Chains A and B, each alone.
Chain A
Amino acid sequence: MKTLSRIFRQNAQTSIIILALVGIWLIFTVLAAVMKDVNFLSPQNISNIFRQMTITAIMATGMVFVIVTGGIDLSVGKLAGFVSTVVAYNQAYRFTDNPAVAAMASVVIGLAVGLLWGGLQGYIISYLRVPAFIVTLGSMFILGGLTLLQTEGQTITATQPYFREIGQGYLNPILGWLLAAIVTAAIFFLMFRDRRNKQKYGFPLPALQADIIKSTLFAALLWGYVFVVNQYNGVQVPVLLLGIVAVIMTYVSNNTRFGRYTYAIGGNREAARLSGINIRQTLFLVFVLMGFLSGLAGIMLASYVGYGTIGAGSGYELDVIAAAILGGTSTLGGVGTIPGALIGALIMASLNTGLQILDVAPAWQGIAKGIVLILAVLLDVYFKKDKT
C-alpha cells in the first residue's frame, strides 16, 4: 500500500487521469445497465471506443509536441478533413481501375498533402514569425474553403476494397494473439537489454522484481485487450496503426535530440537558444510532424466513414487539444507526455460513445465534455497548489 501511495504521489497527473478514465467507465457501465439495459463494457462497445479514439489520438500525439513548445494548432481538424476529401476524390475519380494502386496512391497523396501543409504553416510560424494561433486560425478558414472547392458541396464516396481496411479492418484473431506474443517478447527483451546496458555503466539497477512486475503488467493489459476485442472482430487495423504511431512518438519525445529540444524550448526558449539549439528549425519540424499526423488522420477518417464531405473533420481540433490537455500537457509549455494524450483521447472517445448510448442529446454531450475538461484541469491545479 505504501509503495502504491508513493507511486500515486509521484505521478499525480497520470494517476488522476487513469482514475478519471476508470471512473467514467464505471459511471457509464452502471448508467447504461440501469437506464438502457446495455453492457457498456461489452467486447463490441470496447472495440468501438478504441477504434473511435484513433483519429483524435493520432493527432493528439502531435499536438503534445505543438503545445509543449508553447504553440497551438487550430487547423488540425480541418486539415484532416481536407485530406479526407482529397483522398476520397482520388478514390472516386482518379484511380478507379486498380484498388491496390488506389489505396497506395491515396495514402501517399494524403500524407504528402498533410506534410506540405504542415511545412507551409511551420515555415510561416517559425521563419516568418507569425504567431501560431493566428497562422493556424487563418489556415482553418482556408482549409474550409479548399474542402468546399474539392467536394463542390457533394459527398464523395471512398469505399474501394483495400483502402477500406485502413479505417475499418480487423486482424484475424490468431494474428492478434501472435502480435501480442511478439510485443510481449519485445517488452521483456528491451527490459533485459536496458538492465544489461545499465550494468555495463555500473549504474545501480532497479529491483529485478519491480522491472518484471512492470513489464508483466504491461503485457497483461495487452493480452487482456486482445482477448476482449477478439471476442468481437479482432484487433482493429486503425488501433494497430495508432499503436505504432504512439511507440514512435514516445521514442521521439524521450530518446531523440529533436524531442529533447522541443521540451527545452517550451521550458525556457532563451536558455534553449543559448544552448545552441536551432529554435526555428525545431519549431518548423514540430509543425511538419503535426501536418504529417493530420494527413494520416485524414486518410483514416476517409477510410473509416467511407466518404469525403464538406463537414469532414469539423471540430476535431477541439477534441485533439482537449485530449492533449487532459493528458497533462501544460498550455504554458515544457510539459506533456504521449501516453497521457492517449488516455486523454480515450476519455474523449469514451464520453462520446457513452453519452450516445445513453441517448443524451448532442447539446448535452458538448456540455458534459466541456465540464470534464475543466474539471480535470481544476483537479490538476488543485493538486499542484497542494504540493507547495
Chain B
Amino acid sequence: MTDEYILEFQNVTKQFPGVTALDDVSFKVKRGEIHGLCGENGAGKSTLMKILSGVYPYGTYDGTVIYNGQELKLQASAIHQATEKGIAIVYQELTLVPHMTVGENIFLGSEPTEHGSINWAQLYSETQTLLDKYKLDVHPQALVKNLGVGKMQMTEIAKALSEEAQVLILDEPTSALSEAEINKLMEILRTLKSHGVTCIYISHKMQEFFRICDNVTVLRDGKWVTTQPTSQLSPEKLVRYMVGREMKERFPQGNRRPGEIIFEVKDLHAEKADRAVLNGVSFDLRKGEILGIAGLMGSGRTELVMTIFGEFGKITQGDIRLEGRPIKSNNSHHAMEHGISLVPEDRKRHGLVLIQSILKNISLPNLDRFARLMRIDQNAEVAESLRIAKELTIKAPNLYVPVETLSGGNQQKVVISKWLLSGPKILIMDDPTRGIDVGAKFEIYKLMNDLAEQGIAIIMISSELEEVLGMSDRVMVMWQGRSNGILNTSEATQEKIMTLATGLA
C-alpha cells in the first residue's frame, strides 16, 4: 500500500484547562518528503508532536490522525508504541546518557543479547552499519560526553532511525548548532530522504525551510494557517503567515547614537584548567552602542563574555577597563558592582530558577538594594519588579506564577528584567533570541534599541548572522579565541563575517 500521504491530521483539537492548544487542525504530510512546521511559540507545534509521539494519547484529543492509512491510536503510558509504529522524535533537548558510548546510547533498551548477556561485537557492528547507511560521521565507541553538540545530534538521529523509523520528527534541531554543523545536518536530511524517510522539520529559522523542505505548514494560535510548497513561498510571506500581520522589517529601526568609549578590552588572554581559551581579544565599546559578536561554536564568544563577567577563565594577560580604570571581576558579584550585567546563553540552566516566581527571579540579583540590615523590604521589591515587568511587557497573570509556566519569549524577558533592574552600564546578552519566536524576537530587539538609546552599552552574541547585521553598530568576529576583526555594520556582509569567522582572513 503506497498512499501518497503517510500522515493526515483531520480536525485535531486539543484542549487544556483554559487554553485551546490545537483548534481544528487539518493537513497532510506526503510520504518521503521533508515537511516544515513553523509557527510562533505557543502556536501548537509541540502539542501536535506530542500527539504523534503518544505523550498525549488517543482519546485525550478530538479529531483523527491517519498514519499509513489507519487511524493512529496510541495508548496512554506506552510511549514506546509510537517508536514501534515507526514514528521517532529527536527533541530539542538532547536525551542521551553522557557516560555511555554512541553505540550503547543507540541501542539503549534494545541491546542485542546472547544467552542473556549483551553481545558487544554485534552491538557495535550494527551501530557502524547504521551510521554508514545514513552517512553519519561518529565513532560508535566514542563517549557521548566527549562529543560536540553536532555529533550528539547525529547520535540522537541514529538512535531514532535504529527502530526503522518511517517518520522522523526533528524539533528545532539547529538551535545549538554552528553553521558548519547545520550544513552537515542538511546533508544528513537529504540522505534520509533518499532512503524514503519522511521528516517533519520544526524550526524558528526561516532560511532552513527554504534550504531543505518540500512543503511547509504554518500554525498560528493553535490553528492551521496554510500548507504550501516552499517553491511558492518566500521568507517574508512565511513570516506574514506566522504572525498574521505584515512585518515590514524584522529588525526595528533604532535611533542609536553611540557616545564616548566606556569599556575597553586589550589583548585579553585567559585560560581554564591550563587550557588557553582566549588568545588575544581587543575591542572597545561606546555608550549607547550595540556591539555584535559573531563567530562559530567554539570560537570563544561565550568564554569571552563569561571571563569579563568573572565567571570563567583565569586572565593571564591583558586588561579590562571600565570608564578608563582597570577593573577586575573575580565573580559575578564583582562584575555587577562594576555595573556589568550578563543575560546568559541558556536561560533555563543559567538564567532562571524555574520553580520560583517571576518576582523572586527578578529580584534575586538585586536583593541588596531592597535589604535594610537583615530585612528585605518586600513592598519595595514588589513595586520595583512590577515596574520593570510592565516596562518589558512580560505577559503573565501576576508576578507570583512560576517562570516555568511562561513561554520562551516571556521567560527571556524575565531574565532581561532581572539584569536590568540592577541598572547596568554594560549589558552583555549571550544569544538573547535563541529559541524564541519571531514576535518575541522583535520585541527584544526593540527593547535593545531602547536601552541603547538610554545610554547603556550592549554586547550581543548571536549565532544568526542576519541578527548580528540587523542589530549591531559594529561586529566583532571571533576565531580560535581571538578577535579576528571588527567591522562597521555598514560595510559588513555575511560573506565578510564568515571569512573572518573561519580564519580565511
A residues lining the B interface (CB < 8 Å): 197-198, 200-201, 203, 255-257, 260-261, 263-264, 267-268, 270-278, 334-335
Chain B residues in contact with chain A, CB under 8 A?
Answer: 309, 311, 331-333, 335-336, 342, 344, 349-356, 360, 363-365, 367-368, 371, 374-376, 378-380, 382-383, 418
Given known pairs A201-B379, A255-B375, A260-B360, the reply for A273 and B352 (CB within 8 Å) is no
Assess the B350–A270 pair: CB atoms within 8 A: yes
| Closest chain B CB from A68 CB (angstroms) | 11
B353 touches A271 (CB 8 A): yes
Q: How far is the CA of A267 from the CA of B216 in the complex (A)?
A: 39
**10 A-B residue pairings within 8 Å (CB atoms):** A256-B374, A257-B367, A264-B356, A264-B360, A270-B350, A271-B349, A273-B332, A274-B311, A274-B351, A334-B356
When C-beta atoms are compared, the residue in chain A nearest to B309 turns out to be A274
The one of B333, B352, B375, B382 that contacts A271, using a Cβ cutoff of 8 Å: B352
Residue of B nearest to A330 (CB): B355
Q: Which residues of B contact A270 (CB under 8 A)?
A: 349-350
Question: In whole Å, how far is A256's beta carbon from the nearest beta carbon of chain B?
Answer: 5
A386 to B311 Cα, complex, angstroms: 40
A268 contacts B353, CB within 8 Å? yes
Note all chain A residues with C-beta closer than 8 A to B374: 255-257
A271 close to B336 (CB less than 8 A): no
A-B residue pairs, 10 tightest by C-beta: A267-B353, A276-B333, A275-B365, A268-B353, A276-B332, A275-B364, A257-B367, A201-B379, A276-B336, A270-B350
| A141 and B374 alpha carbons, distance in the complex (Å) | 36
Q: How far is the CA of A273 from the CA of B342 in the complex (A)?
A: 12
CB-CB under 8 A from A271, the residues of chain B are: 349-353, 364
Select B355's contact among A200, A255, A267, A275, beta carbons within 8 Å. A267
| A256 touching B364, Cβ below 8 Å | no
Known: A201-B379, A255-B378, A257-B371. Contact between A274 and B356, CB under 8 A? no
Q: Which residues of B contact A198 (CB under 8 A)?
A: 379
Expressed in whole angstroms, the Cα–Cα distance for A256 and B377 within the complex equals: 9
Q: How far is the CB of B476 from chain A (nearest CB, A)?
A: 23
Name the one of A261, A274, A335 contacting B342, with C-beta atoms under 8 angstroms.
A274
Name 9 extra pairs, CB < 8 A, besides A260-B364, A272-B364, A275-B418: A203-B382, A263-B360, A264-B360, A268-B349, A268-B354, A271-B364, A274-B332, A276-B335, A277-B364
Inter-chain contacts of B311 with A (CB < 8 A): 273-274
Which residues of the other chain, B, contact A268 by a CB distance below 8 angstroms?
Answer: 349, 352-354
Picked from B353, B368, B380, the residue with its CB within 8 Å of the CB of A272 is B353
Known: A256-B375, A256-B376. A278 touches B352 (CB 8 A): no
Nearest CB on A from B348, distance (A) = 8
Q: How far is the CA of A273 from the CA of B352 in the complex (A)?
A: 11
The distance in angstroms between the C-alpha atoms of A50 and B78, with both chains bound, is: 48
**A276, B379: Cβ atoms closer than 8 Å:** no
Is there an interface contact between B349 and A201, defined as CB atoms closer than 8 Å?
no
When chains A and B are docked, how far (Å) is the Cα of A201 from the Cα of B350?
32
The answer to whether A278 and B364 touch (CB under 8 A), given A197-B379, A200-B379, is no
Report the Cα distance A257→B379, complex, angstroms: 15
